[in-house]
């Protein structure tokens, strides 16, 4: 019998959804059978179908916003930006498809034509995270379908309801039921999908720990495509600036938006020693004012709860760990509602800690490190195995150039937050944040492989060199 699955609203603890885990073998067989027909459709047909998907999402916008807010706990306004990103994805992916994986004609010898075209991989498994349960899987699914792949989408076991609704929208738009399949389950179903011989690749968004496990699983399968979008331990460096209020706002947005549950969230504020007291004081004053409440509350909160009690426990334990190992609390992390995963934004100065753990905390916990000079700031920012996003706040154009040139990250911003990445640009990280297959605008690249052909309608060939003369003496015998 299939395992029972449930999803609860983080903000209330109420049961939101229940279902059962999917039969992976059966789902793969359906997608495998549907793939050739979907791949054979003209690209104009696939584009039109996905444009209808946008209309379906628009028609269901409020319901999807509400469901995302309920299932993740993020405020309604935050969920609304996620749904907007879902709708914008189609036009962006159509442009990326044609720019990055469209057809090209090249000159070839002897009147032949040389073409570069792209083919889909086949059946792709998309494994989604819980923090953006619609936008991030959609960021793989839309380009994969556009390129002619069939898709098996396994949402996070923490957000199956949003995953189910997203797949309903593709089907309602006319994507064949078997060309995009919902696979419900957790790590076991994820592993089974990745291991299946009829799955041509895995498009993954989630933690580095899981991504590395899948990478290991793929070691003997170099022919399978693997796109890993993983976590971060992202630095925000604050340097000389006259506008302390704006600097503090950018730091608060980077660290606490979506309760810090963004892969691009800033978890380390690296600040010039002389500026630290003033700036950190301002960050604390602003963080003290952030409303942490139910996603539907009025007035609207800045942050909702984190995803579940386990995540909230992990965050409060991490704060205590930092404190008992030399960290100096600036703003304590508080569980505001018994039994529910609401935590307040927290700030801790870890400058004096001998060894700072290089882990992704994935919550509203900002660690402060004071440094004496700009070179130390860059060194400290790079002091991580991750490399997703980084930002410099303040500083001169020369310092930004130095920062840009020396920081190891896939997203490097100046006087903008570390998060809120654009879908119109590539999105990926280095180190253990990714495997050099960035998503967003560059997702087209991993959804199809290039085929180079030299073509002419009739065979026409001669060997010009290295042949013996024809022996005419034997002729006529
Ligand atoms: P997770 O790694 O726990 O799970 C992600 C998905 O992988 C889920 O669907 C899960 O069921 C599945 N899974 C778990 N173990 C598996 C295994 N061994 N084999 C195959 N599949 C498996 O991640 P999460 O906690 O849901 O999401 C939060 C993480 O995602 C954070 O680390 C965050 O930084 C990261 N994230 C990265 C990006 C990015 O684009 N770089 C974006 C959003 C979130
Ligand atoms: C995320 O994908 O978790 C965050 C995207 C962003 O805000 O940059």
pLDDT digits (tens, 9 = 90+) for 403-414: 999 999 999 999
Residues 252 and 417 sit within 8 Å (Cβ to Cβ): no
Q: Judge if 44 and 107 occupy the same domain.
A: yes
Q: Judge if 216 and 240 occupy the same domain.
A: no
Q: Is residue 264 part of a domain?
A: yes
CATH number at residue 198: 3.40.605.10
Cα 151 to ligand 2 centroid, rounded to whole Å? 23
Q: What are the tens digits of pLDDT across the range 341-391?
A: 999 999 999 999 989 999 999 999 999 999 999 999 999 999 999 999 999
Q: Judge if 411 and 440 occupy the same domain.
A: no
Q: Ligand 1 within 6 A of 230 CB?
A: yes
Cα 205 to ligand 1 centroid, rounded to whole Å? 5
Q: Which atom of ligand 1 is nearest to the CA of 207?
A: 32
Best of 129, 190, 440 to mutate for ligand 1, by most ligand atoms within 8 A of CB? 129
Q: Is residue 463 part of a domain?
A: no
Q: Judge if 58 and 149 occupy the same domain.
A: yes
Residue 221 has pLDDT above 90, yes or no: yes
Q: Is residue 471 part of a domain?
A: no
The H or E element that residue 369 is part of is strand 365-371
Q: Which of 82, 189, 229, 360 is catalytic?
A: 229
Mean pLDDT of the chain: 97
Which residues sit opposite 236 in a β-bridge? Answer: 269, 391
Phi, psi angle pair for 186, to nearest 5°: -120, -145
Q: Whose CA is nearest to atom 8 of ligand 1?
A: 156
Residue found by looking up tokens 């015998």 in the block: 477
Cα 69 to ligand 1 centroid, rounded to whole Å? 19
Q: Provide the pLDDT confidence category of residue 477 given band limits of 50, 70 and 90.
A: low
Predicted pLDDT of residue 471: 83
Quote the strand ranges of 131-189, DSSP E. Answer: 150-154, 180-182
How many Å apart are CA 213 and CA 229, to the nearest integer? Answer: 13
Q: Judge if 168 and 219 occupy the same domain.
A: yes
Q: Is residue 386 part of a domain?
A: yes
Q: What percent of the chain has pLDDT over 90?
A: 93
Predicted pLDDT of residue 78: 98
Q: Is residue 477 part of a domain?
A: no
Q: Whose CA is nearest to atom 37 of ligand 1?
A: 230
The binding-site residues of ligand 2, defined as CB within 6 angstroms of any ligand atom, are 131-132, 136, 262-264, 419-421
Q: Judge if 92 and 111 occupy the same domain.
A: yes
Residue 3 has pLDDT above 90, yes or no: no
Ligand nearest to the CA of 262: 2
Q: Judge if 134 and 12 occupy the same domain.
A: yes
Q: Is residue 465 part of a domain?
A: no
Phi, psi angle pair for 297, to nearest 5°: -65, 155
Residues 287 and 269 sit within 8 Å (Cβ to Cβ): no
Q: Judge if 184 and 250 occupy the same domain.
A: no
Cα 133 to ligand 1 centroid, rounded to whole Å? 11
Q: Ligand 1 within 6 A of 301 CB?
A: no
Does residue 25 have an active-site annotation?
no
Q: Is residue 449 part of a domain?
A: yes
Q: Judge if 239 and 225 occupy the same domain.
A: no
Predicted pLDDT of residue 475: 63
Ligand nearest to the CA of 160: 1
Q: Which domain holds residue 278?
A: 234-422
Cα 229 to ligand 1 centroid, rounded to whole Å? 9
Predicted pLDDT of residue 155: 98
Instruction: Please count the structural domains in the chain.
Output: 2
Q: Is residue 475 part of a domain?
A: no
Q: Judge if 210 and 318 occupy the same domain.
A: no
Q: Whose CA is nearest to atom 5 of ligand 1?
A: 206
Q: What are the tens digits of pLDDT across the range 402-449?
A: 999 999 999 999 999 999 999 999 999 999 999 999 999 999 999 999
CATH number at residue 300: 3.40.309.10
Q: Judge if 382 and 441 occupy the same domain.
A: no
Q: Judge if 332 and 359 occupy the same domain.
A: yes
């Amino acid at each position: 019998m299939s395992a029972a699955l449930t999803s609860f609203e983080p903000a209330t603890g109420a049961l939101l959804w229940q279902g059962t885990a999917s039969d992976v073998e059966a789902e793969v067989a359906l997608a495998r059978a549907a793939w050739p027909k979907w791949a054979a459709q003209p690209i104009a047909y696939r584009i039109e179908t996905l444009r209808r998907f946008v209309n379906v999402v628009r028609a269901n916008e409020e319901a999807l916003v509400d469901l995302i807010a309920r299932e993740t706990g993020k405020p309604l306004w935050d969920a609304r930006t996620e749904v907007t990103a879902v709708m914008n994805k189609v036009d962006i992916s159509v442009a990326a498809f044609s720019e990055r994986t469209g057809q090209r004609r090249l000159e070839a010898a002897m009147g032949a034509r040389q073409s570069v075209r792209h083919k889909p991989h086949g059946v792709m498994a998309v494994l989604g995270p819980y923090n953006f349960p619609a936008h991030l899987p959609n960021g793989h699914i839309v380009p994969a379908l556009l390129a002619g792949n069939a898709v098996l989408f396994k949402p996070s076991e923490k957000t199956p309801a949003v995953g189910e609704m997203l797949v309903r929208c593709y089907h309602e738009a006319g994507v064949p039921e078997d060309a995009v399949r919902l696979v419900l389950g957790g790590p076991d179903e994820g592993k089974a999908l990745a291991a299946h011989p009829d799955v041509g690749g895995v498009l993954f968004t989630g933690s580095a720990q899981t991504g590395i496990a899948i990478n290991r699983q793929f070691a003997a399968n170099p022919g399978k495509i693997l796109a890993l979008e993983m976590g971060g331990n992202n630095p925000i460096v604050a340097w000389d600036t006259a506008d302390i209020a704006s600097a503090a706002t950018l730091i608060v947005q980077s660290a606490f938006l979506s309760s810090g549950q963004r892969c691009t969230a800033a978890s380390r504020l690296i600040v010039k020693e002389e500026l630290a007291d003033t700036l950190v004081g301002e960050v604390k004053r602003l963080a003290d004012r952030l409303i942490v409440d139910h996603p539907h509350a009025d007035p609207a909160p800045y942050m909702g709860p984190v995803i579940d009690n386990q995540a909230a426990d992990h965050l409060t334990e991490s704060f205590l760990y930092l404190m008992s190992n030399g960290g100096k609390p600036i703003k304590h992390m508080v569980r505001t509602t018994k039994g529910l995963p609401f935590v307040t934004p927290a700030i801790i100065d870890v400058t004096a800690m001998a060894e700072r753990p290089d882990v992704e905390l994935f919550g509203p916990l900002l660690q402060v490190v004071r440094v004496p000079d700009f070179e130390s700031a860059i060194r400290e920012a790079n002091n991580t195995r991750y490399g997703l996003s980084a930002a410099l706040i303040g500083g001169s154009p020369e310092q930004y150039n130095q920062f840009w040139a020396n920081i190891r990250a896939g997203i490097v911003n100046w006087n903008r937050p570390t998060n809120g990445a654009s879908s119109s640009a590539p999105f990926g990280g280095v180190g253990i944040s990714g495997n050099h297959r960035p998503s967003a605008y560059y997702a087209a690249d991993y959804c199809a492989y290039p085929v180079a052909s030299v073509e002419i309608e009739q065979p026409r060939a001669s060997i010009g060199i290295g042949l013996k003369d024809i022996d005419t003496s034997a002729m006529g015998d």
